[in-house]
C-alpha cells in the first residue's frame, strides 16, 4: 500500500461542512489531512467501534451493513457522499469497501474545534496551530485526545488553546523543581520526562513515574496553592505546552472538580463508591474512615493502576487541598472522582 498522499484543498471543498470553512482555515485543515486508500473487500470500520474519526469517501463505493444485512451503499461523487460516512459514535454500521476506494479521515474532536473557531471568527485556525513546527508535532490533536480535555466546556477549550504557551526542552532539563512555587500546568506534546521526589532517606530522588506524550504535570501545587512536591526532568528532547496558574484554575481545574457534602458522600459509599484517603500513612494510621484506601498524594501517579476505573472514589484529606489535587489527577485519567467538601477536619471526622 502506498503512503498516504496530501489532499488537495478542492477535494475538501466537496464535503459538508468543510465547504463552509474560510479559505485560510481550509488550508490549515488540508495540511493535517492525507488521502488514503483501501482495497476492495476490506473493512473501513466496524459496527460498535468508537474510533473518533470523521471519514469522507473520495473515490469508489462502500457498503454499509448492520449485522449480516446490507442497509445502504455509498458511491463517491453522489450527493449522499458529501457528508461523512455514517457519522456518530459508537459506529452504528460496518463500512466495507465494495471496490478499491480512496478516502480522507480526520480526528473528530480536532475537526469540531476547527469548525467552531472558524464560525466564531475570533481566532484563525492557522494562527492557533502555531506555525509549521507546531503543526508537524500536531500538539492540538495530542491535547484533544487527553482524557481531561474531553470534559471541558467548548468555550473553555477554545480559551485554553488561545492562552497556552509552547516550550521546547532538552534532555536532562529540569522543568519544575521540588520545593519551588507553582506557576504553570504542563502537558507533554513531544518526548518523555521522569518524576522524582527527594526524601530524607533518598536525596537523589525516588522515581515516581515516567510521563509521555499527552500526559500532564504541575497541577498539584496549583490546586493546593502549595510548593512543588516533585521534580520533573526531561528524559529526551521534547516539547511542552503550559498554562498559567490562574488560567488553569478557571478554565481546566474548576470544570473537572466535583465537590460533595458528607451526606452525599455517604450515600455514594453505600452505592458502591470507595473512600480514597490521600494523606500520609502516619495520618491515615492515626485515624481513617472505615473501608478507606490510603494512597498518599505524591504516590497517586505511581499507584493509579492499582485503583479500579469502574469504581467511583470520594477523595479525602484533612482540609480538601490534597484531595482536590488527587481528584483532578484521577479525573484526568478517566476516573469518576469527587472531593469531600471541607475535608475530614471540616466535617469533624477524626480522633476525639
pLDDT confidence of residue 295 = 94
Cell of 98: 465494495
Please indicate, yes or no, if residue 117 is contained in any of the structural domains.
no
pLDDT of 129: 40
Residues 248 and 277 in one domain: no
Which residue, of 107, 142, 176, is where some domain finishes? Answer: 107
Residue 120 lies in a domain: no
User: Of the candidates 252, 277, 299, which is a domain's last residue?
Assistant: 252
Query: Is 46 in a helix, a strand, or coil?
Result: coil
Q: How far is the C-alpha of 91 from the C-alpha of 49, rounded, in Å? A: 5
Catalytic residues: 317
Q: How far, in Å, CA of 262 to CA of 260, rounded?
A: 7
- Give the tens place of pLDDT for each residue, 211-255: 998 888 888 888 877 788 889 999 999 999 898 988 888 888 777
In which region does residue 48 sit, left (phi positive, over 0), alpha (psi from -120 to 50) or beta (all else)?
left
pLDDT of residue 120: 52
In this structure, are 140 and 242 located in the same domain? Answer: yes
In this prediction, residue 128 carries a pLDDT of 39
CATH number, domain of 244, equals 2.60.120.10
Q: Do 167 and 212 belong to one domain?
A: yes
User: Does residue 135 share a domain with residue 79?
Assistant: no
Q: What is the pLDDT of residue 255?
A: 76
pLDDT of residue 275: 97
Range of the domain at 154: 130-252
- Give the model's pLDDT for residue 127: 39
For residues 233 and 227, what is the distance between their CA atoms, to the nearest angstrom?
Answer: 17
The pLDDT tens digits for 165-209 are 889 999 999 999 999 988 999 989 899 999 998 877 777 778 888
* Measured CA distances, 18 to 21, 50, 54 (Å): 6, 22, 12
Query: Measured between alpha carbons, how far is 337 from 323 in angstroms, rounded to an integer?
Result: 10
Cβ neighbours, 10 Å, residue 50: 11
Task: Phi first, then psi: give them for residue 5, nearest 5 degrees.
Answer: -105, 150
Give every residue of the chain whose pLDDT is below 70, as ranges.
1-5, 113, 116-141, 144-148, 150-151, 154-155, 350-352
- 228, 252, 276 - which closes a domain: 252
Cell 469504581 sits on residue: 311
| pLDDT given for residue 123 in this prediction | 43
The 3-state DSSP class for residue 263 equals helix
Same domain assignment for residues 137 and 210: yes
For residue 264, tell me if it sits in a domain: yes
Task: Provide the pLDDT for residue 270.
Answer: 96
Looking at the domain assignment, is residue 114 inside a domain? no
CB-based contacts of 268: which residues, under 8 Å, 6+ apart? 260, 312, 314, 338
Task: Write down the pLDDT at residue 126.
Answer: 40
Question: In the block, which residue shows the cell 526532568?
Answer: 233
* Owner of C-alpha cell 496551530: 129
Strands 53-59 and 238-244, sheet pairing: unpaired
Peptide bond into 90 cis (omega under 30): yes
Amino acid at each position: 500500500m502506498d503512503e498516504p498522499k496530501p489532499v488537495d484543498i478542492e477535494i475538501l471543498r466537496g464535503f459538508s461542512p468543510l465547504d463552509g470553512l474560510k479559505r485560510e482555515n481550509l488550508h490549515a485543515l488540508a495540511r493535517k489531512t492525507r488521502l488514503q486508500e483501501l482495497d476492495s473487500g476490506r473493512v473501513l470500520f466496524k459496527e460498535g467501534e468508537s474510533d473518533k474519526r470523521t471519514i469522507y469517501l473520495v473515490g469508489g463505493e462502500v457498503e454499509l451493513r448492520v449485522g449480516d444485512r446490507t442497509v445502504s451503499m455509498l458511491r463517491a461523487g453522489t450527493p449522499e457522499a458529501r457528508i461523512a460516512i455514517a457519522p456518530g459514535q459508537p459506529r452504528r454500521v460496518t463500512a466495507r469497501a465494495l471496490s478499491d476506494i480512496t478516502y480522507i479521515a480526520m480526528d473528530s474532536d480536532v475537526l469540531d474545534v476547527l469548525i467552531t473557531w472558524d464560525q466564531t471568527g475570533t481566532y484563525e485556525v492557522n494562527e492557533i496551530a502555531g506555525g509549521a513546527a507546531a503543526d508537524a508535532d500536531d500538539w492540538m490533536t495530542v491535547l484533544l485526545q487527553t482524557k481531561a480535555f474531553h470534559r471541558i466546556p467548548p468555550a473553555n477549550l477554545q480559551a485554553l488553546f488561545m492562552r497556552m504557551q509552547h516550550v521546547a526542552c532538552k534532555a536532562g532539563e529540569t522543568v519544575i523543581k521540588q520545593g519551588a512555587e507553582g506557576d504553570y500546568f504542563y502537558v507533554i506534546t513531544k518526548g518523555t520526562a521522569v518524576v522524582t521526589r527527594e526524601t530524607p532517606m533518598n536525596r537523589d530522588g525516588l522515581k515516581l513515574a515516567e510521563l509521555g506524550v499527552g500526559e500532564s504535570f504541575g497541577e498539584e501545587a496549583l490546586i493546593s496553592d502549595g510548593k512543588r512536591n516533585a521534580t520533573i526532568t526531561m528524559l529526551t528532547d521534547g516539547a511542552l505546552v503550559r498554562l498559567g496558574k490562574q488560567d488553569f484554575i478557571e478554565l481546566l481545574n474548576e470544570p473537572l472538580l466535583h465537590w460533595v457534602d458528607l451526606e452525599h458522600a455517604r450515600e455514594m459509599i453505600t452505592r458502591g463508591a470507595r473512600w480514597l484517603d490521600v494523606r500520609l500513612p502516619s495520618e491515615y494510621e492515626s485515624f481513617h474512615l472505615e473501608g478507606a484506601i490510603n494512597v498518599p498524594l505524591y504516590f497517586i501517579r505511581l499507584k493509579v493502576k492499582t485503583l479500579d476505573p469502574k469504581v467511583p472514589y470520594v477523595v479525602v484529606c484533612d482540609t480538601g487541598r490534597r484531595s482536590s489535587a488527587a481528584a483532578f489527577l484521577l479525573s484526568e485519567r478517566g476516573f469518576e472522582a469527587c472531593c469531600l467538601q471541607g475535608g475530614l477536619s471540616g466535617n469533624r471526622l477524626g480522633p476525639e
